[in-house]
Structure 1
Amino acid sequence: MIFITLIKFRKKASDVIEVGKKIMQNLPPDVKVIGTYWTLGRYDSVWIFEGKDPKDAIKLWLPGGEVVRTETLVSLPRDEAIRLL
């Protein structure tokens, strides 16, 4: 499964960077990060990652609870979604 997490910083950027480093160094076993981006607009950052199931997304973000607020989306490739119609 591909997950897209929208992130809003709750603390200063330097605190978020430190927690982000710890998260990247301690990824759950079934999680593969595809990309991380800082963004302009409503959210401060976006992470795109692959995991076996939604539990992996929960495990990934538990350590960030004090410094970020997250909203995680489950995504499906466009062609796969169209086949479901």
Structure 2
Amino acid sequence: MRNSHSVVVNMVTAVVLMHVEVGKAEQVYEKVKEIDEVEIVHLVTGPYDVIAYVELPEKSDYRRVVFAIHEIPGIKSTETCVSI
């Protein structure tokens, strides 16, 4: 039974893992936070420097958001994991 106040939306969730240039992690972090679809962003240790959790209303929005992330100065490479 659905609650009459609930709205179910099929969002696309993705995790974007970023390698950044040395000394640029905090700048990249701040720029990634400015992207509307980014729900959570973390500076992390390990093989990646920054991780962002992205919520997209449509699968077609994926390309635009990933391109926006790639345009941020200091990002060397990304890997994206889309939730299925």
TM-score normalised per structure 2: 0.62
How far off is 1:73 after superposition?
1.4
Residue 61 of structure 1 is matched in structure 2 by 69
Is the radius of gyration larger for structure 1 or structure 2?
2
How far off is 1:49 after superposition?
0.8
Ranges in structure 1 where 5+ consecutive residues have no aligned partner: 77-85
Residue 24 of structure 1 is matched in structure 2 by 33
Distance 1:60 1:40 in 2: 23
- RMSD, aligned CA: 2.1
Count of residues paired in the alignment: 69
- The structure that is helix-richer by fraction is 1
TM-score normalised per structure 1: 0.62
Ranges in structure 2 where 5+ consecutive residues have no aligned partner: 1-11
Aligned pairs (5 A) from 1:1-85? 1-13=12-24, 16-25=25-34, 27=35, 31-51=36-56, 52-53=58-59, 54-64=62-72, 66-68=73-75, 69-76=77-84
